[in-house]
Amino acid sequence: MDKDLHLAHHISRRFNAELEELRSDVLAMGGLVEKQLADGLVALTTSDTEIAEQVATSDYKVNSMEVAIDEKCNQILARRQPAASDLRLVVTIIKTITDLERIGDEAEKLGQLAVQITDANVSYSQFVEIRHLGDHVKSMLHDCLDAFARMDVADAMRTIEADKKINEEFESIMRQLITRMMEDPREIKNALRVSWCARALERIGDHSSNICEYIVYLVEGKNIRHISDVKLSQEMA
């Protein structure tokens, strides 16, 4: 850790408690989103419609957590007027929960697609690749949430790097699906469904990567979004 945030060092103990609560709320929300993703992947790869339905109908929990945390952030901004690292923490959390909520949406999509794919009785060799991609995305989200809990910039940077691999994997799955569609046009409908699954997973990677960028901002005060790799290595040097 490059810079300690000392969340519990405020003169106001109430403020310490509020910030701690906020941080553990985000981790709880992250845990829930992680579970949604894990269940979505299980549903997809085992054709378990019950779990699929459950994932598809549980997204409201993630949404209501987002609203609740958002509300707490607003209250802190209004009542405490945080500055410096406290301000960065609250801003980071506001942005992080948006990405977590979007990850929840993508997981929900996986659940819905799992129902459709199971109903259509598709059995694809692509599921091997999807499972592989899914495992990568799952561990990326896991690392991202760990980096958040630890406020660890090095971990966050490694996780951002991992997103590149996920993008490559996604491209390769897409190429295979396109080949399959060209070979047999009757497969297009199902191949598209599988591609949407891959797309959802790839998006989860992007959102995790965003969260890691917020962590860097939180700890270092540096904004590393939307910059080239060269500039990034200069910034972080």
Partner 1 sequence: MVETDINMRTELMESTQVQSVDRSDTKVADMKQQVNATIGEPFAKDPKMQARQVNVYYGNKQAIFNVSLDLGKNEVVALIGPSGCGKSTFLRCMNRMNDTIPICRVEGNITLDSEDIYADAMDPVLLRARVGMVFQKPNPFPKSIYDNVAYGARLHGLAFNKAELDEIVITSLQKAGLFDEVKDRLHEPGTGLSGGQQQRLCIARTIAVSPEVILMDEPASALDPIATAIIEELIDELRQNYTIAIVTHSMQQAARVSQRTAYFHLGKLVEIGETNQIFTNPKHELTENYITGRFG
| Residues at the interface with partner 1 (CB under 8 A) | 1, 4-12, 15, 23-24, 27-28, 30-32, 34-35, 38, 81-88, 142, 145-146, 149-151, 221
Instruction: Tell me if 29 sits within 8 A of 58, measured CB to CB.
Output: no
Angle at 80 between CA 60 and CA 90, to 5 degrees: 45
Closer to partner 1 by Cβ: residue 36 or 210: 36
Q: Give the tokens for residue 5.
A: 């945030």
Closer to partner 1 by Cβ: residue 45 or 118: 45
Q: How far is the CB of 43 from partner 1 (least distance, A)?
A: 15
Closer to partner 1 by Cβ: residue 99 or 152: 152
Q: Name the residue with tokens 């310490």.
A: 16
Q: How far is the CB of 175 from partner 1 (least distance, A)?
A: 33
Instruction: Tell me if 89 sits within 8 A of 218, measured CB to CB.
Output: yes
Q: What is the DSSP string of 139-173?
A: HHHHHHHHHHHHT-HHHHHHHHHHHHHHHHHHHHH
Q: How far is the CB of 122 from partner 1 (least distance, A)?
A: 28
Closer to partner 1 by Cβ: residue 25 or 53: 25
Closer to partner 1 by Cβ: residue 2 or 171: 2
Q: Give the tokens for residue 80.
A: 């405490």
Q: How far is the CB of 172 from partner 1 (least distance, A)?
A: 29
- Residue 118 CB-density burial (10 A; 0-12 exposed, 13-18 middle, 19+ buried): middle
Q: How far is the CB of 49 from partner 1 (least distance, A)?
A: 21
